[in-house]
Chains A and B, each alone.
Chain A
């Protein structure tokens, strides 16, 4: 399988992850496009077939972090109120998607990334650690915080809110 074929086969998963990570289709595809370009450029640096997927996710992660760093810093404020997340038992797909986008946006980026890599992309903890460039213990603690926070948000409980702070 050529480098191109191997990368093309991963595009749908990269798009799914990027879509959930950014909450926005166009932004997600821009991120995927940048990731693919970078992956093809750096193809010669990648050797082990076993870790191909985490390698692609790590490229995407670094690009995403760079983009956000340029756009503005994300800060964490304890005392703000939670943005309203509507509760629905029988939501349509579109409403469900919107609610989840909104809830995920309330997680700190690094927690959102871990939650999605593990819960949605079903990477092992070791793979998620490689993709994010952090120790596995950090993955576990972020996963734990992300899950309890998302649960609070989806249950409509007050949790600290994220705020974009201009640098």
Chain B
């Protein structure tokens, strides 16, 4: 009447997968076979040990980069917050600078948006004390791999050590047409620079160095191949020109 107890039954017993009838039979059999009982207990102990070691992951906050876009938007939840802050700040800066009507059609529409977007991103993130970047320079390989993947091309943050600036890290931002990378640098005097790297439309022509001052933020920007670059800082036009030249020569791609 009773099927013989198999190895599979023992595993199913250890995994609590047996129905009540079979459970009773297996328990009775195990009572008569202490060496197999010990083995089943060891399997259960293994599963318990796996839970002890890895269940902590369940309680960790999910990294923002893993959250899928909401409502078919390409923006992640956290980035939406940054984006709204950004638009608001952009409107404020635009209004204050140029005295334009606040209901301008779109602050993002014009091609000249690059320096403004870069300056606003600079203004939003450089004052941050605790979270200036999403991924720090201590994880540079991860940072570079991640941003390269999201922007769809190999990126390399330029070295500015000879000018006294070290890489703090980087973050991903929403841009006009999709994702944008921002690298942040800092010198010993705690001055911060940001390099904004924006994928360009395929037909965009290269553009040489240009300069803009966005409410006290000096921005040098240019378009090279598939990317538009903008270096923002507040250490003066001459200094920024020197730094931008340094970046340009290294070609961050």
Bound together, the chains give a CA A16 to CA B69 distance in angstroms of 21
Bound together, the chains give a CA A151 to CA B49 distance in angstroms of 12
Question: Using Cβ atoms and an 8 Å threshold, which residues of chain B touch A147?
Answer: 11, 43, 46
Bound together, the chains give a CA A125 to CA B52 distance in angstroms of 22
Nearest B-chain residue to A101, judged by Cβ: B53
**Residue among B46, B56, B58 with most chain A CB within 10 A:** B46
Taking CB atoms and an 8 Å cut-off, the chain B residues in 28-58 that contact chain A are 42-43, 46-47, 49-58
Bound together, the chains give a CA A92 to CA B56 distance in angstroms of 14
Question: Do residues A12 and B142 form an inter-chain contact, with CB atoms below 8 A?
Answer: no
State which of A44-52, A59-67, A82-90, A114-122 sits at the interface with chain B: A114-122
Can you identify 23 A-B contacts, CB atoms within 8 angstroms?
A7-B68, A8-B68, A12-B60, A13-B58, A15-B58, A15-B62, A16-B54, A26-B139, A29-B65, A29-B66, A96-B49, A96-B52, A118-B15, A119-B46, A119-B47, A119-B50, A120-B51, A124-B17, A140-B11, A143-B11, A147-B11, A150-B46, A151-B42
State which of A32-40, A69-77, A159-167 sits at the interface with chain B: A32-40
B111 at interface, CB cutoff 8 A? no
A68 at interface, CB cutoff 8 A? no
Q: How many A-B residue pairs have CB under 8 A?
A: 85
Whole-angstrom distance from the CB of B7 to the nearest CB of chain A?
6
Question: Do residues B50 and A116 form an inter-chain contact, with CB atoms below 8 A?
Answer: yes
Whole-angstrom distance from the CB of A44 to the nearest CB of chain B?
14
* A-B CB proximity, top 7 nearest: A119-B47, A16-B57, A120-B50, A12-B58, A100-B53, A20-B54, A97-B53
B58 is contacted by which of A16, A100, A140 (Cβ under 8 Å)?
Answer: A16
Question: Using Cβ atoms and an 8 Å threshold, which residues of chain B touch A8?
Answer: 62, 67-68
A144 at interface, CB cutoff 8 A? yes
A120 is contacted by which of B42, B43, B54, B139 (Cβ under 8 Å)?
Answer: B54
Bound together, the chains give a CA A124 to CA B59 distance in angstroms of 23
A11 at interface, CB cutoff 8 A? yes
Question: Do residues B49 and A100 form an inter-chain contact, with CB atoms below 8 A?
Answer: yes
Question: Using Cβ atoms and an 8 Å threshold, which residues of chain A touch B142?
Answer: 26
Question: Using Cβ atoms and an 8 Å threshold, which residues of chain B touch A96?
Answer: 49, 52-53
Question: Do residues A12 and B47 form an inter-chain contact, with CB atoms below 8 A?
Answer: no
CB within 8 Å of B: which residues of A?
Answer: 4, 7-8, 11-13, 15-16, 19-20, 26, 29, 32-33, 36-37, 40, 93, 96-97, 100, 115-116, 118-120, 122, 124-125, 140, 143-144, 147, 150-151, 154
Whole-angstrom distance from the CB of B8 to the nearest CB of chain A?
5
Whole-angstrom distance from the CB of B246 to the nearest CB of chain A?
30
Whole-angstrom distance from the CB of B182 to the nearest CB of chain A?
20
Whole-angstrom distance from the CB of B78 to the nearest CB of chain A?
13
Question: Do residues A125 and B17 form an inter-chain contact, with CB atoms below 8 A?
Answer: yes
Question: Do residues A36 and B11 form an inter-chain contact, with CB atoms below 8 A?
Answer: no
Question: Do residues B66 and A33 form an inter-chain contact, with CB atoms below 8 A?
Answer: yes
Taking CB atoms and an 8 Å cut-off, the chain B residues in 99-117 that contact chain A are none
B63 at interface, CB cutoff 8 A? yes
Question: Using Cβ atoms and an 8 Å threshold, which residues of chain A touch B52?
Answer: 93, 96
Question: Do residues B62 and A12 form an inter-chain contact, with CB atoms below 8 A?
Answer: yes
B66 is contacted by which of A11, A19, A154 (Cβ under 8 Å)?
Answer: A11
Question: Do residues B43 and A33 form an inter-chain contact, with CB atoms below 8 A?
Answer: no
B70 at interface, CB cutoff 8 A? yes
Bound together, the chains give a CA A154 to CA B68 distance in angstroms of 38
Nearest A-chain residue to B77, judged by Cβ: A8
Whole-angstrom distance from the CB of A141 to the nearest CB of chain B?
9
Whole-angstrom distance from the CB of B156 to the nearest CB of chain A?
19
Nearest A-chain residue to B146, judged by Cβ: A30
Whole-angstrom distance from the CB of B30 to the nearest CB of chain A?
16
Question: Using Cβ atoms and an 8 Å threshold, which residues of chain B touch A143?
Answer: 11
